[in-house]
Structure 1
Amino acid sequence: MFDLFLLFITVFVYTVTRIRHKSKKRVNLPPGPPGWPVVGNLFQFARSGKQFFEYVDEMKKTYGPILTLKMGIRTMIIISDANLAHQALIERGAQFATRPVETPTRKIFSSSDITVHSAMYGPVWRSLRRNMVQNVLSSNRLKEFASVRRSAVDKLVERIKSEAEEHGGLVWVLRNARFAAFCILLDMCFGVEMDEESIEKMDRMMTEILIAVDPRIHDYLPILTPFHSKERKLALELRRKLVEFVIEFIKKRRSKIQNPNETASSFAYLDTLFNLRIDGRETTPSDEDLVTLCSEFLNAGTDTTGTAIEWGIAQLITNPKIQSRLYDEIKSTVGDRTVDEKDLDSMVFLQAFVKEILRKHPPTYFTLTHGVTEPTTLSGYDIPVGANVEFYLPGMSEDPNIWSKPDKFDPDRFITGGEDADLTGVAGVKMMPFGIGRRICPGLGMAIVHVELMMARMVQEFEWSTNPTESGVDFSGKLVFAVVMKNPLRAMVKARV
């Protein structure tokens, strides 16, 4: 039934628009699978039964490291080659630093152009990013939040102990790890106390919003939008509820910093936004803009950190020798006292272990979508304005021409194996889990600290092993905002004496 409906829509739209298509100037796009008029490759992808990253991985074997997929109105140019990524994002960074225009569904997440992650390349984006980096994510500023991280990780350890006691030693890894990461970011963002119920409610509401704005077929074929009006109404209602809920915490923070009789924590990201002048505008961000900026700050660092921890624990369970070696390094560094953030710089194997997690299990299979500011070329092919330029990360981090035995999880490749990778991509691209170039994730340094600290404490406090009801660890992944384990990891823990 769906096939017949899609065929009808295809014929109808093609008939209406064929004159316009004929008048367009022909461009030399990268190769890709032939598709149907108007719908392009949407039909083939839907019929493949694969996840999108699996479909891309299959296509690149046929069409090479730069290919084109036509997905309805979207032209997607997918790059999976490290040298091409360096050319685009480092050597010609300004040309590839913008974003494609957002669809109406995606626009629900924000009421204006006041966002960091999706703002078009220009003065607004520069103002917002500069404010975030200089005032919140600089190395000096991050040190001021050390007590916040220590408190959240202490609570993580206690949550794991409590859950293990209630369930015979079994704990859900991702749920606990992402809750700890979310708590850290909440404190950094709002600087006000929240009870656990409020924390869980905010997390749930933001997750619902992300699900609601996940691309649907009408994002690729706008003609189908009228058939999805209920979905849009639902997404708008979710956004309204989120705004109402978050604004209460914004008001609390504003009151604390304006009222000398109230005690406020020393600093929060929100403080930098209240009176921020963006691109010389006369007005400061509205309360709804503040909700958007705070939401993206929280979303960007929660799932990515949580999933890195889940994959890391999965690898420790599968590789007990690596787990023992990591514990031995922690023990030899700190003795019987609790790991502190200042100890991380001395733990060479821990650093290599985390880097190998990011290589083997990048937080996402694709960077946030790039666009070009003007028509350009790459590898001899045209890259038109409006095209979605996607960078497929496993194509680089699993490239046998770059890595020795890329399928093997081996932290020693970064210590004794002579392999290394500059995560910023400036010195060359081998892996880019946080993106590279002008749109590189501004929270890269913070994310590394969070993952290293949480992994160190979790290994120091517990010995991790397989759930006895399961035969082993399933390393299949799926893309849900970040790359999570297809079957969430429930592990057995034993407190270390």
Structure 2
Amino acid sequence: MASLSFFQSFDHNLLFTLFSLLISALLFFLTRKPKSKPVNLPPGPPSWPVVGNLIQFARSGKPLYLYMHELRQIYGPIIHLKLGNRTTIILSSPDLAHEALIQKGQVFSSRPPETRTRAIFSCDKFTVNSATYGPYWRSLRRNMVQGMLSSTRLKGFRPVRESAMDKLIERLTYEAQKNNGLVWVLKNVRFAVFCILVSMCFGLEMSTEMIEKIDEMMKTVLIATTPRLDDFFPILSPFFAKQRKRVLQVRDEQMKLLVPLVQQRRSAVRNSGSDPSAAPFSYLDTLFDLKVEGRDSVPSDAELVTLCSELLNGGTDTTATGLEWAIARIIDDPKTQARLYNEIVSTVGDRKVDESDLEHMDYLNAFVKELLRKHPPTNFSLTHAPTEPATLGGYDVPVNANVEIYYSPISEDPKLWSNPEKFDPDRFLSGREDADITGVKGIKMIPFGAGRRICPGLSMAMLHVSLMIARMVQEFEWSAPDPDGKIDFSEKVMFTIVMKNTLRACVKPRVKRT
């Protein structure tokens, strides 16, 4: 359930539009007294007064991950950037990531202060992802993992997944029939994933129209929380009154849409009595009477909306974009598609793939692992922050500094991987290469993060990706719209790393064996 880091979601185009406002702020900040005690910060490009390195980044005209790739060639695997009022430390080597997340995990397991916008939607950091390391976080994470995402609980949602998979196949079949075999991949898989999460979250029967309405609301929330210039320069906040008003409006719309669902679920649970089938289990059930360490009250309706939104937004785009990259890879290499299909047939025969079959599909599991190595959901980890003055790689890291892990230099490090630029699931077969995606046994690829703040939805995400790939390959033969067409693997950053050109594929139903 990883989500977009604050660091990589900033839109550098805003810097050009609002540069004049920075000049106004410059005189104010220059009058501030400098820190009396110097610190040994990591190397990095020289920064400008007040604005730090923001203007340099904007003038580069490059996406942040490409800009960071260039800086890494100059300054090495640990870099310091000053982004307005934020001290940012970027790590891009397995040793540094291991030092921060595993060796010094307790120190680096907190989050930096929230922007005012995000604090509105997180109820002042009352979520698993954003909570400060401490009692609130422990209570919320323990509840999510044990009460919702344990293997036992996940098995209980099998009927939900089966229904969503069947509907996905129906949607793809219908769309292909209407469009000469062509389907939009991301749109369809994303909706299937969202349907699963909505059911898991609320435990209510909903119409397609209602689910789509919730989905649009969640997208609006993500847009509303995109960082603005005043997040880096609070003194500019008077210039953003209109944007703050819009944020409050979006939050109000979110509450009006989701609170009735919360109340409906609460009523269903109370009225179920001795018949548990009257109210199938949902995430909300674990939250109504949740006792959070250090608080006397149970979560408010606003906090329940926030926690549900975290599950929905955290688990949708990360999974859906991975599935789009997966289909792109099997179209690009017909031999890979054939191997996946043959493994499915040899494992399940003519019956529909069941999730219990997945553990017996070695090539599928290797394919998914390679997918996560080459196409992690985000370029950067969710932001970490030290709870006390600390060091990394021999350099000082101040309290509340933004500490980011840059993934691709690790997952494509030629010292760790053979032919890292090649998409090769076979590297994970026969013991030739391997990697523990949790980072516990060593960091070679950590698409879900590592250490104490590792994504709690790791198991759920792996299950959803593997099951959906298996079902889609079992039901359809996938190819490019143009028989001679090549897949463009260029990427861009939205809420996650998506294909620059949204994938449209040609599907042909498999011939059922008799």
What TM-score bracket applies, with the shorter chain setting the length? over 0.9
Match of 2:214 among 190, 198, 202: 202
Query: How far apart, in 1, do the equivalents of 2:15 and 2:280 lie?
Result: 59
Q: CA deviation at 1:204?
A: 0.6
Q: CA deviation at 1:115?
A: 1.1
Match of 1:357 among 363, 371, 379: 371
Query: How far apart, in 2, do the equivalents of 1:452 and 1:2 lie?
Result: 39
Which residue is 2:266 aligned to? 254
Q: Do the aligned partners of 1:42 and 1:72 also contact (CA within 8 Å) in 2?
A: yes
Which residue is 1:187 aligned to? 199
Query: How far apart, in 2, do the equivalents of 1:113 and 1:4 lie?
Result: 31
Deviates more, 1:260-269 or 1:126-135: 260-269
Q: Do the aligned partners of 1:112 and 1:289 also contact (CA within 8 Å) in 2?
A: no
**Residue 386 in 1 paired to residue 386 in 2?**
no
After superposition, the Cα gap between the structure-2 partners of 1:361 and 1:21, relative to the gap in structure 1 and judged at 3 Å, is farther
Match of 1:271 among 275, 285, 300: 285
**Residue 144 in 1 paired to residue 152 in 2?**
no
Query: How far apart, in 2, do the equivalents of 1:278 and 1:353 lie?
Result: 40
Q: CA deviation at 1:83?
A: 1.0
1:66-465 pair list within 5 angstroms: 66-260=78-272, 264-416=278-430, 418-465=432-479
Q: State how many pairs are aligned.
A: 497
Identity %: 59
**Residue 485 in 1 paired to residue 499 in 2?**
yes
**Residue 61 in 1 paired to residue 61 in 2?**
no
Q: CA deviation at 1:135?
A: 0.8
AA partner of residue 416 (structure 2) = I
Q: CA deviation at 1:266?
A: 2.6
Q: Do the aligned partners of 1:192 and 1:264 also contact (CA within 8 Å) in 2?
A: no
| Post-superposition CA distance 1:101-159 (Å, at most 9, x none) | 00112223223332111010000010000001011111111111111111111111111
Q: CA deviation at 1:290?
A: 0.2
Deviates more, 1:56-65 or 1:315-324: 56-65
Query: How far apart, in 1, do the equivalents of 2:42 and 2:445 lie?
Result: 23
Query: How far apart, in 2, do the equivalents of 1:245 and 1:301 lie?
Result: 20
| Post-superposition CA distance 1:347-391 (Å, at most 9, x none) | 000000000000000011111110001000010111101211011
Query: Is the partner of 2:278 in helix, strand or coil?
Result: coil
Q: Do the aligned partners of 2:14 and 2:229 also contact (CA within 8 Å) in 1?
A: no
| Post-superposition CA distance 1:212-261 (Å, at most 9, x none) | 11112221122222222212211211111011101111111111111137
Query: Is the partner of 2:297 in helix, strand or coil?
Result: coil
Q: CA deviation at 1:12?
A: 4.6
After superposition, the Cα gap between the structure-2 partners of 1:7 and 1:335, relative to the gap in structure 1 and judged at 3 Å, is closer
Query: Is the partner of 1:484 in helix, strand or coil?
Result: strand
| Post-superposition CA distance 1:281-319 (Å, at most 9, x none) | 221000000000000011111001101100000000101
Deviates more, 1:478-487 or 1:254-263: 254-263
Which residue is 2:7 aligned to? none
AA partner of residue 187 (structure 1) = S
| Post-superposition CA distance 1:134-185 (Å, at most 9, x none) | 1111111111111111111111111110111111111111111111111111
Query: Is the partner of 2:32 in helix, strand or coil?
Result: helix
5+ residue gaps in structure 2? 1-12
Q: Do the aligned partners of 2:114 and 2:125 also contact (CA within 8 Å) in 1?
A: no
Q: CA deviation at 1:3?
A: 8.2
Query: How far apart, in 1, do the equivalents of 2:431 and 2:128 lie?
Result: 38
Say what the alpha-carbon RMSD is for the aligned residues. Answer: 1.8
Query: Is the partner of 1:441 in helix, strand or coil?
Result: coil
Query: Is the partner of 1:389 in helix, strand or coil?
Result: strand
TM-score, normalising length: structure 2: 0.94
Query: How far apart, in 1, do the equivalents of 2:335 and 2:50 lie?
Result: 54
**Residue 471 in 1 paired to residue 485 in 2?**
yes
Query: How far apart, in 2, do the equivalents of 1:473 and 1:243 lie?
Result: 41
Query: How far apart, in 2, do the equivalents of 1:260 and 1:490 lie?
Result: 45
Q: Do the aligned partners of 2:272 and 2:278 also contact (CA within 8 Å) in 1?
A: no
Query: How far apart, in 2, do the equivalents of 1:195 and 1:321 lie?
Result: 40
AA partner of residue 421 (structure 2) = D
Q: CA deviation at 1:404?
A: 0.7
| Post-superposition CA distance 1:384-417 (Å, at most 9, x none) | 0121101111111111111111110000000036
AA partner of residue 354 (structure 2) = D
Q: Do the aligned partners of 1:462 and 1:494 also contact (CA within 8 Å) in 2?
A: yes
TM-score, normalising length: structure 1: 0.97
After superposition, the Cα gap between the structure-2 partners of 1:93 and 1:479, relative to the gap in structure 1 and judged at 3 Å, is same
Q: CA deviation at 1:19?
A: 4.8
Superposed structure 1 runs of 4+ greater than 4 Å apart: 1-12
Query: How far apart, in 2, do the equivalents of 1:177 and 1:264 lie?
Result: 29
Query: Is the partner of 1:433 in helix, strand or coil?
Result: coil
Q: Do the aligned partners of 2:30 and 2:50 also contact (CA within 8 Å) in 1?
A: no
5+ residue gaps in structure 1? none
Q: CA deviation at 1:23?
A: 3.6
Query: How far apart, in 2, do the equivalents of 1:112 and 1:384 lie?
Result: 22
Query: How far apart, in 1, do the equivalents of 2:125 and 2:378 lie?
Result: 24
Which residue is 2:508 aligned to? 494
